[in-house]
Amino acid sequence: MSDSLTPEALSTLQLPIVFTPGAWQRAVLLELSGHPEKLPVERLSHVLRAAFEAHLAYPHEPHVVFEVAHIASTGHPHHDLLLKLRLSLLQEPDQPDALLIALVGEYQR
């Protein structure tokens, strides 16, 4: 991620982030062995970083597809499997704007 963020990018970084249940389950809340209390935080950080990098690469696109490594229940990433996620600006009446992270094809607007 660039160290010199534009005012527009900074305002986007301040929006709340919402995950669909499917995206949360498959991308963040993994059933992994080891240190389960640490892994979701690290995984969440990885997913958010990938989402923001995708957004900064295409700041004027209403939806951006990005990928993160898919991790199996064994805790090892499949080098050839990527989980495709979609970042979009969620604008609902009477609700604050938010960024939505969904599985590709799970939520369309």
> From first to last of its 109 residues, what are the pLDDT tens digits of the chain?
445 566 766 677 788 999 999 999 889 886 554 555 566 888 899 999 999 899 888 888 889 999 998 765 555 555 548 899 999 988 889 988 899 999 998 865 5
* Chain length of the chain: 109
Residue 90 backbone zone (phi > 0: left; psi -120 to 50: alpha; other: beta): beta
pTM of the full predicted structure? 0.77
Q: Cα–chain-centroid distance for residue 2?
A: 18
Instruction: Note the pLDDT of residue 85.
Output: 96
Q: What is the pLDDT, as a whole number, of residue 48?
A: 93
Assigned token pair, 60: 């004027």
CA–CA separation, 92 and 98 (whole Å) = 9
Place of tokens 């064994």: 74
What type of residue sits at position 104?
Answer: V
User: Which secondary-structure segment (H or E) carries 10?
Assistant: helix 7-13
Task: Report pLDDT for 1.
Answer: 44
Dihedral sign from CA coordinates of 64, 73, 18, 43: negative
